[in-house]
Amino acid sequence: MGDVSVRAATPDDAAVICTIYNQGIEDRVATLETELRTPEERRQWMAGRGPRHPVVVAVTDEQVVGWGSLNSFNPRPAYDHVVDLSVYVERGWRGRGVGRVLLLHLLARAKTLGYHKMVLATFPYNEAGVALYQKMGFTPVGVYHEQGRLDGHWVDVLIMERML
Shortest CA distance to 64 belongs to which of 108, 136, 10?
10
What's the rounded Cα separation, in Å, for the pair 134 and 11? 32
For 88-124, write each residue's pLDDT tens digit. Answer: 999 999 999 999 999 999 999 999 999 999 999 999 9
Residue 138: helix, strand or coil by DSSP?
coil
Name the pLDDT band for 18 (thresholds 50, 70, 90): very high
What's the rounded Cα separation, in Å, for the pair 17 and 22? 8
Is the pLDDT at 1 greater than 80, yes or no? no
Shortest CA distance to 16 belongs to which of 33, 2, 37?
37
What's the rounded Cα separation, in Å, for the pair 87 and 5? 15
What's the rounded Cα separation, in Å, for the pair 137 and 115? 16
Number of Cβ atoms within 10 Å of the Cβ of 63: 12
The CA dihedral of 96, 130, 37, 46, to the nearest 10 degrees, is -80
Its pTM stands at: 0.95
